[in-house]
Every structure is written in C-alpha cells, then in structure tokens.
Chains A and B, each alone.
Chain A
C-alpha cells in the first residue's frame, strides 16, 4: 500500500524555523495537504494544494514541493505551534487517500 513518510519528531527554539518533510512516490502527480493537531483536538488544515494557506492560518506557515518530497515550513516558531503535523495526499489513482506518519514538533 502507498505510504507517506515523515520524520517522527522535529525540535526547534522559539523564533527559529521548523521544516517538516513528507516523502511519497506519487507526490509529483498529486496535491499534498498539511494538518496541525494539538492534543485532544481534531486536525486543522494549515496548507492546501502544496503551498496555499487557508484563511485564518498565520503567514508563518508555508508549503513547498520538489519531486517526491513536500515540505511544511514554520517560520518564527511560536510556543503555540507545538503540535503533531500530518501530510495528506493520495496514491497514483488519486482516489485512495493516505496520511503521512506524522511529525511531533517540540518548541524548546
């Protein structure tokens, strides 16, 4: 089955930049999305269509794509950004959705 691979954890000091990668063979052909999930809460969409930001999401969240890897960047990390982050996309058919393995962002 198709998989999206993320690093288990990323640690960053306040004000620094956090980068979270997501790798998958079908990513050159399929859009990727990013979600933030805080403990006990439902996920929140923070990036859509690889690099677009929904209304209400701070500008410090950005996304990019290169080949089989997409990246979520959090610039000027704040304590409130500490959360789990998941990428989401689909296999080559486009109809079988998949979530990445998830990355825990810790703000030191």
Chain B
C-alpha cells in the first residue's frame, strides 16, 4: 500500500523559507505513471494547489506562488521536497503531499489519488 509522509519544521519565522519533504513508501517515485504534488489548506479554508513534479524533474507551479516556490525530487531517497521562500502569516496552513495519477485519464489534468496525512506549518515570530 502506497504511503506518503510529510516532514519538516512546524514553525517558521516570517521572511524565512519553509522547507518540507515528502517520503514515499510502498511504491517508486520514478514511475512514469505518476507525478507528485504539494497542496495546502489554511485553517478553516479551502485547498490550494502549490505545484507538481515528475521524476525527471519537470515542474509545474501555481502562477500565484511561482516566484516563491521550488519543488525538487530525489529519486535515490524516494522523496520530493517543497521550498517556499519569504513566508508570511498567510502561508500558515496544513501542507499535503500527494500522488498525481496519470493512469486515471488519457490526458491531463490528472487527479490526486493518494495523499499524505498533512502537516501544519505555522508562520510566526
């Protein structure tokens, strides 16, 4: 059974960089059938797509966050990571990593079929 687990600091100071890692177990991150993505959800609010990455390193970012976001992949560790720079209180949210399945549609967009449990990141001094 595929599992995704987010890890990283739960508290980040304003203007600093938020860094999270998602560890994938029970499957290979190098499969051509999947992308890997980050989604966030501020407390009491809706879901926001942050970006996605393919095992080759190809990335797609939310235009509203693109200038501050970097997503990378480490196939040797079966992990992918998120960096969000210059954070403010508005970046306080539960951050989810998820698998994007290319097997459920012939062409994009594709769905997020497996999700991590999420990790709360608070931006505060």
Contacts and interface: CB of A to CB of B under 8 A. Distances in A.
Nearest to B107: A94
A86 B46 contact: yes
Which of the listed residues B47, B52, B116 has the most CB atoms from chain A within 10 Å of its own CB?
Answer: B47
A29 to B, nearest CB: 10
B96 interface: yes
B47 A54 contact: no
Given A1-B64, A99-B46, A52 B104 contact: yes
Contacts, number: 70
Interface in A69-89: 86, 88-89
Contact of A102 (B39, B46, B63): B46
Contacts of B117: 42
Interface residues of A, number: 27
A1 B64 CA distance: 8
Nearest to B62: A96
B49 A48 contact: no
Interface residues of B, number: 24
B46 A95 contact: no
B109 A99 contact: no
Contacts of B107: 94
A107 B49 CA distance: 28
B49 A97 contact: yes
24 contacts: A1-B64, A30-B108, A31-B108, A35-B112, A37-B47, A42-B115, A42-B117, A45-B113, A48-B111, A52-B104, A54-B104, A54-B113, A86-B47, A94-B107, A96-B62, A96-B63, A97-B37, A97-B49, A97-B60, A99-B39, A99-B46, A99-B49, A101-B46, A102-B47
Given A42-B116, A97-B109, 17 more contacts: A1-B64, A33-B109, A35-B47, A37-B47, A43-B96, A43-B115, A45-B112, A48-B111, A49-B105, A88-B47, A88-B49, A90-B108, A90-B109, A95-B60, A96-B62, A97-B49, A97-B52
Interface of A: 1, 30-31, 33, 35, 37, 42-45, 48-49, 52, 54, 86, 88-90, 94-102
